[in-house]
């Protein structure tokens, strides 16, 4: 009996520890985040020097030789204000910057190790501090990506990746590594002003362990919320959301889809975000020159919005610190479109009709925006929208009336296929 009571007490304690109620400051940040709908992801580190993407160290490169690249890292073209100006002009509302990726190199000044851009390179500048100040000047919110795994540190418990770097694996020590991470997170949330979100990655490195790995996320998430009470916690773990998380992440897929194989998780009642690349890789790859067109990216943004999700669109800066011209072209194109049509994206929620082959819907108050992305997918008989109630329909761009038929089951729109050109033809229902 005593044993049973002890077990029950332990279960109750676990349940209590797992409970999470977001604070009012977190809820306010969630509302702000959900209204933004569009952000830019930045994957940049010494891996850019190799021009092989951010996973280059995992390809069998010796970590000691790899680390020597830091001695030549001098991104003379980096200008935080130029970044912020281009990103702001794109219509994006926030930046998510990689402070430390899986190669373990810190892109900020840290007392935890000399392996960072301030102490370990001839450049010697804290690019994160400069970017944080530029974000303030250009009214951009700042989010910070932080890797949970490390292919270089000897105390990191070996996972399924980073097994060919040549690092000494006899000194694995979770307590030591966890203390290191918490010290860095404390620096990030203390020294760089207001941070709206911490974006974790790498949980999946131990998904093949025979004994489930305990990342002790509850205490780490609590640390984030304690240091900055309004800072949102996100984790790209590809699983159902865990207690303490404030955003649900989807990698390379609109929520509810799983073409890339990373998004089997159930949809949670949280603000959502889809991260996707402009080209193929996250970090700079010299051969990766096939970029998605501006039209493709606009359609992706619309489909994300139709699911009530943000689009976090990635750029991999060059080793000199400049944004690739192909990326700048797409930022300009999306900015031009959002200047005209942003009202149908910002501050909206997913509409009653979820994304379909023809397009998606977004709602703001009493107005439903019908985004027709593929006019050829609209039946000749008209576009039927089940469950939708409306009395009036008009083109968003021109105000021209659109024929509307109502029934108990929904409404049918007479879509002018000749007018439905471009990446997105929008009809407003009232």
In the chain, the domains with their CATH numbers are: 23-348 (3.20.20.80), 359-429 (2.60.40.1180)
Cα 258 to Cα 252: distance, rounded to the nearest angstrom: 8
Cα 3 to Cα 346: distance, rounded to the nearest angstrom: 56
For tokens 């540190």, the residue is 153
Alpha-helix residue ranges (DSSP H) falling in 138-234: 174-191, 217-227
Q: Computed from CA positions of residues 324, 326, 327, 329, in that sequence, does the dihedral angle turn out positive or negative?
A: positive
Taking a C-beta distance cutoff of 8 angstroms, is the pair 410, 370 a contact? no
- As a whole-number percent, the residues of the chain with pLDDT over 70 amount to 96
Q: What is the tens place of the pLDDT at every residue in 200-258?
A: 999 999 999 999 999 999 999 999 999 999 999 999 999 999 999 999 999 999 999 99
Asked whether the predicted pLDDT for residue 1 surpasses 60, the reply is no
Strand order in the sheet with 197-201: 232-236, 197-201, 141-147, 94-100, 38-42, 309-315, 272-277, 248-251
Q: Please report how many Cα atoms fall inside a 13 Å half-sphere around the Cα of residue 85, on the Cβ side.
A: 6
Cα 312 to Cα 33: distance, rounded to the nearest angstrom: 12
Q: What is the tens place of the pLDDT at every residue in 23-43?
A: 999 999 999 999 999 999 999
Average pLDDT, the chain: 95
Cα 365 to Cα 339: distance, rounded to the nearest angstrom: 20
Q: What is the pLDDT of residue 18?
A: 55
Q: How far is CA 380 from CA 288, 359, 384, 414, 428, in A?
A: 40, 16, 11, 9, 20
* 3-class SS shares of the chain: helix, strand, coil, % to 5: 30, 20, 50
Q: What is the tens place of the pLDDT at every residue in 248-273?
A: 999 999 999 999 999 999 999 999 99
Taking a C-beta distance cutoff of 8 angstroms, is the pair 292, 279 a contact? yes
Q: What is the pLDDT of residue 19?
A: 85
DSSP state of 285: B
**pTM, rounded to two decimals:** 0.95
Q: What is the tens place of the pLDDT at every residue in 392-407?
A: 999 999 999 999 999 9
Strand order in the sheet with 404-407: 383-386, 410-413, 404-407
| Residue 293 CB coordination number (10 Å) | 13
């Amino acid at each position: 009996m005593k044993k049973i009571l002890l077990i029950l007490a332990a279960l109750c304690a676990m349940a209590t520890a797992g409970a999470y109620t977001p604070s009012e400051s977190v809820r306010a940040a969630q509302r702000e985040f959900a209204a933004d709908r569009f952000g830019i992801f930045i994957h940049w580190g010494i891996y850019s020097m190799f021009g092989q993407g951010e996973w280059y160290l995992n390809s069998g490169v010796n970590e000691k030789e790899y680390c020597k690249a830091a001695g030549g890292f001098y991104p003379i073209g980096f200008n935080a204000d130029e970044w912020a100006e281009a990103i702001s002009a794109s219509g994006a509302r926030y930046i998510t910057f990689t402070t430390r990726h899986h190669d373990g190199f810190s892109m900020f000044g840290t007392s935890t190790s000399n392996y960072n851009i301030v102490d370990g390179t001839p450049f010697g500048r804290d690019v994160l501090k400069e970017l944080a100040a530029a974000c303030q000047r250009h009214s951009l919110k700042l989010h910070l990506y932080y890797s949970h795994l490390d292919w270089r540190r000897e105390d990191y418990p070996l996972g399924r990746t980073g097994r060919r770097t040549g690092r000494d694996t006899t000194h694995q020590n979770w307590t030591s590594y966890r203390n290191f991470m918490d010290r860095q997170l404390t620096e990030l949330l203390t020294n760089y002003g207001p941070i709206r979100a911490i974006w974790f990655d790498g949980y999946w490195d131990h998904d093949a362990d025979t004994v489930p790995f305990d990342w002790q996320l509850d205490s780490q998430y609590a640390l984030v919320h304690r240091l900055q009470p309004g800072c949102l916690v996100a984790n790209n773990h590809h699983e159902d959301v865990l207690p303490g998380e404030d955003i649900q992440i989807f990698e390379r897929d609109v929520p509810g889809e799983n073409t890339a194989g990373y998004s089997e998780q159930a949809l949670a009642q949280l603000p959502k975000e889809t991260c996707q690349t402009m080209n193929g890789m996250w970090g700079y790859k010299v051969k990766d020159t096939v970029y998605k067109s501006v039209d493709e990216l606009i359609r992706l943004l619309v489909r994300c919005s139709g699911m009530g999700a943000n689009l976090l669109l990635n750029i991999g800066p060059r080793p000199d610190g400049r944004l690739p011209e192909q990326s700048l072209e797409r930022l300009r194109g999306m900015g031009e479109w959002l200047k005209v049509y942003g009202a149908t994206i910002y501050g909206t929620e997913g509409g009653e009709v979820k994304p379909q082959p023809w397009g998606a819907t977004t709602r703001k108050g009493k107005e439903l925006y019908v985004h027709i992305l593929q006019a050829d997918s609209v039946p000749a008989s008209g576009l039927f929208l089940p469950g939708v109630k409306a009395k009036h329909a008009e083109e968003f761009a021109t105000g021209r009336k659109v024929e509307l038929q109502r029934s108990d089951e929904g409404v049918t729109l007479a879509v002018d296929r000749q007018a439905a050109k471009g990446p997105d033809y929008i009809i407003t229902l009232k």
